[in-house]
Structure formats: C-alpha cells, structure tokens
Chains A and B, each alone.
Chain A
Amino acid sequence: DGGITQSPKYLFRKEGQNVTLSCEQNLNHDAMYWYRQDPGQGLRLIYYSQIVNDFQKGDIAEGYSVSREKKESFPLTVTSAQKNPTAFYLCASIASGGAESYNEQFFGPGTRLTVL
C-alpha cells in the first residue's frame, strides 16, 4: 500500500538537544511538507520541498532544519534553537504533475514531540 510513514509516533527530548523526525513516502510524490500543530491552532507550515535537493522555508522555519537527498525522504530536525518545540508534527506530500491535483495533500500519522 502506498502512503506516508512518520517515526517515531512519540518523541521525548531534553532541553538543548537536537532531534530528527522521520518522514518517508512511497507515493512517488515530488513535493513534501512539514506542518506543526499546537492546541487551538491550525496546521502551520515549517518547511517544504518541491524537488530533490531543494527546499524552502515556510511560515515558522526558525529553529528547524530539513534535507531532501532522496525523493522518498524528508527528515525534519528540531534544533535547540527552537524555543517551544513541544507540538504535534505532520508530514505531507502532494501528487506530482498537473493542476488537476489542485494541491491535494496526503498526510502521515504524525509525531508528537515533548520537551522535558
């Protein structure tokens, strides 16, 4: 079955540590996205990548970094510079190709990060 996997499901981090959240897709999608959700707020865009070896900052990129070395993988690193990293993180991808997809996004199950 095609889909998006994220790991781990739950992650605990001590203050001052960097952690990396995994996102893998086997949908052959070109574009991938990272969102963050906080209670009472909508999903906010952290970083996105429209093609391998290229990525762009989203609306709340400070304290995060990403890489896109393979089409299937888009890991997110939460660095110690992120002031309030406790949140739920969702990875998504968009079908490749024409406008008929209208940017419909497919989501992974998410990772809940807690800073201790």
Chain B
Amino acid sequence: ILNVEQSPQSLHVQEGDSTNFTCSFPSSNFYALHWYRWETAKSPEALFVMTLNGDEKKKGRISATLNTKEGYSYLYIKGSQPEDSATYLCAFSKDTGRRALTFGSGTRLQVQP
C-alpha cells in the first residue's frame, strides 16, 4: 500500500485569510494527482486532476501546484470564505490497470466568519 501524507490534519482560519495545504506522495510510477473537496453530508467533489510535473491549476480562489519529481502538491486558498469549510482530500494514482486512487487522510479546514 502506498502512503499519501497530508498536512496539516486540521486548520482553523479567519475569513479573508489565505491558506495552503500539503500533499506528499510516492513519486515512482506516477500517473495523476487529484484534489477533492468533501463537505459534510455531501459527496466528495473533484477540484483538480494534475498529471505533469510543474502543473498549476486554478479554480476561482483555489489553486494547486504539482512536483512529481519530489512527490508533493500544494493546494492554496486565497481569501478564505466560510463556504470553503470542508475536508480537502489528496489522492494519487499509479500508472497501472487498477485505476484506483490512494487517498490521504485529508486536511479539515474551518473558516470562521
């Protein structure tokens, strides 16, 4: 079983603060790195899928970067809002036929108004 590590485990910020999380993953046989947002009582929602070293993706105030050589990805949230409160999951897939994802334990973000 591969290990995907996410940090911090939880984070409390004030509305308007910018924040970032880290995801570390094994760099061998890399295929894709995924970020999901998981709000309470809802299904996890895909934010980004990144495949190339140096990839940067952006969706509104949220962006992500990828370094496949050293095995890490950062997720940034600019100007956090209460609606950003959720658990952010990172997942990694290898270049195999299984196509399943290996998930980290997530970073739980709470944004205080």
Interface membership of B66, Cβ < 8 A = no
Does B31 contact A56, Cβ atoms closer than 8 Å? no
Contact partners of B93 in chain A: CB under 8 A: 102-103
Interface residues of B (CB under 8 A from A): 1, 4, 9, 31-32, 34, 41-44, 46, 49, 51, 89, 91, 93, 97-106
Contact partners of B99 in chain A: CB under 8 A: 31, 48, 50, 94, 103
Interface membership of A4, Cβ < 8 A = yes
The tally of residues in A whose CB lies under 8 Å from a CB in B reads 26
Interface membership of A104, Cβ < 8 A = yes
Does A110 contact B89, Cβ atoms closer than 8 Å? no
Does A4 contact B106, Cβ atoms closer than 8 Å? no
A103 with B101, Cβ < 8 A, contacts A42-B89, A43-B89 known: yes
